[in-house]
Structure 1
């Protein structure tokens, strides 16, 4: 049969194996009494006088007792499929069974036909049937030749796609397309589409393959899929899921440093954290120190990116910043600057005096200084005889200026052991200290004023001096002191002897002496022949400008 929409009265041309073999007025062609010589595969095409050729029809001629009749046309998904187990010359066939690829697919109720209401591609395969045929004298069980049946796909499995590359950005439009391909032989088939988000239908079915989201928001993030079906719902296919994450551009990140008061000490490990309050992951955090790259961290979910900084030197101080980037067109966002200061703990404290030796005369000035090998902004505390200097009583306290301890006038009680302690701190709980060694200061009591005796004196003055010396000599010997020896003949030495009684309590810092109640100091005249003018000048306030030979010296004797 050749079905056409052309009006009757037209002629039809018939083809077999692409060759014309006849013309008819009717739209049908009948083949009477096929012969064995006609066995084979034929392709018949009909052509109206003013139309194109039809689709081909395959005809198989067999001389078997039992054959399986199958559709001569192409079978598509959703089409009905009928198979008939047919006996030679229409003879009755009993005990019919149907097989696909060797497996029995006979339904519970079966007659001469196997009917599948809506074929699927899974119904494709090689079919045959078995049955019993009764002739005049005997009943035999026959097997039909196999017939290959291919159920063609009506349309391809749909694929859901989002316009553009990557996930959409908040505030931008989104278009979802449900794409499928119809079989060219079924291009006039009408299809319907339904879109789903998180398994919930987004409206009714539609013929359009697109679904539009005018302004994407965070609520539009989710798992999407679409379904395509024929108008009669005979074929229904679902697309794989498409996950859509509407991205937020990152907000400016916050930089925090795990350092109390923005200070860290050498040897500390400081954690630098960078976090954007808003923004879609993954977020790349980059860290900078003084504008130079320090490192980066990628965060695949909400939360900060962190970097551990080992503080090794003062070079680690300075400004730190970070930037966040999640690939948006707006670009990376940078944090505010954070200034970190590095504290060097004090070490190597040293105490020193502004004079060569450890002895100082009472009444003189004295400066003690304390220095450190390293340390940021050290503070200094002074100890006197293992006690804080402020705790000393009955003494004129020295003044402190920076790292210097200043004595305007040293007293006997200022003698003793001195020590400085340098310190700095990050917090009241983290204090660094470096004590110095101990420095001993000895304070010596000031001797009697210098006395100058001229060489040319009157006899009366010499007599008076002699009497005075005799009395002193007697008094000293009377107190069991060590008396000086008589000078040798020819030696002349002028002296003034001062005898002072010790106080009951010895001041701190005085040198130990013999347990005597008195002590003597001598004034010695270096020049045996001084002039009156030079002796008088030695007593004058400007005596330091005179030659050393005119100055008398105090020599203590214990």
Structure 2
């Protein structure tokens, strides 16, 4: 490899950094790249950028270009023409060599001025010698000139020039003796799409002088048309591809620097069939894969966009090598070969090497016929066995063959697992209902499934525990019941190929009712007849509903239910018979519990009332209301006349006899008529007479002796005398009737009596 100061340092396999470089070939099957003084080996760069710079296809440095100024290759003798040499780098650097008719001129300038006819060539540093240019100096009066340089497909300007153009009247142009167009007096004519056909051109000029008309013929000129681009060269990389590998085809040619703006198109062919999508601006075509049947002759074509220039490459035969299969491998999906019954088994057979069409086949040990066979142009193929069953278990292998004999893979085992079915949960309790303290057995079992099976037990979604069945079947889990064990139970069976959950089973744990507590809540203390007492019974624990029963001296008073648990109450309006022992009972169906006995006493009717014996009641019946009315009348009369003291004590009092069932009066000890005073004998009266009430008529308090107000008092500090009367209870309407007849008398009496309104009315009557 040639190196100098211009050649950049590149790593092996790098491309030349100069944008206008081209691939060139030396020997068959090899390729090199030249860019200026640098020479690089394959890999090949993109030829699309390389075609715009003059690089020799022979492996030499690019040619120099020689330009004329003015751009006419033929001119009049005595005139001067300037020659300019252009190399790969412009302006040219270093020495420039000039040649005239193969003789080296002693100059190193980029430009020279000439006046002598002949062939001229030049060479710059980093280029090869340019194509020769023939410059001709003529002594004729009329000269036909052609521009330089001219390339294939160019439009050429011809100029017919006389030494004295003022006398010229008409000019005509000829090619191979035939006149081109009509008369042209402009001095130039354009020849379109010049070709390298060695045509001969000349022109004529005519005019008039004093001696008469004249005609002059120019020199004969053969236009030097240069090649626009050389015949393309088709290259294949690699030259002998392996079957199945890609191939890059390159159509190589070059454009001169003076025509670097010309657009080329490239077409590729296999035999007579066009490849790719047709002609394109890219000089490269990639064939993704070459197969044995693709081993044929190939060629390419380069052409201008205007199709004025077309050139075909020589044909090249591409051979394709076949590689025998090797490295046959079998892969099972799912990985590991562990399948669930009913799944699809996928067998993938592949080869590490091998070209062309490969025949794949799949086998299971113990069977004569193959499971399947596929022939295709690829390095792998797959076979699917749908819905595998238990008999599909075993060892599998595959074979691959590309006409050179089958190669077998390793053997892989396939195992099948049966998923566990939905388990059934059974709760086995010693009795119904399940009670706190009982031991319940939870049994979970899946009818089918490959062992081992792991069972999980759940209570309201929370794991209770687990147990394994190594050989299949079911397992049990014992639970000592508490109140919190009520709820939803389920179990799960899992054998590693999918867990299955059982249906939920509801367990209700019944808690026996505890001994209830009876509470009696009276409106006051002590409890009196007519009061309302609340009996409240409550068991602190126990599964609802709880039925409560209330007892008085062993006799059922009533019952009430608590659907949601808690306690209940029972109200009782007291009578004298309600004294005694009370208890209650709580029953929720799993055994009744009786409370402790509570003793309750009913003491009386009110704080200022007493119960009168049957004798007193009889006495009041005999005397009637008449005596009471007489006493009341006298008492009111005495009070109104000043017979009572300021304290309401009479000036004299009666002497009342006492007895168990009757009473008598002694004579009064004062001058005024004596008041009849009743002194009752107290005793318990059964409260069964619901229509009787006892009302205090009057309470007379005797004070200490007062001679002024009570001269007839014989004793001091006497106890108060209380008068009661037995009355029937009056209904509200009855009371209203009495009120209407009582009138003003009741109004006056109310000032001194503490009584019930109906009772007062009765006494007044």
Q: What range is the shorter-chain TM-score in? A: 0.3 to 0.5
Return the TM-score normalized by structure 1.
0.41
Return the TM-score normalized by structure 2.
0.31
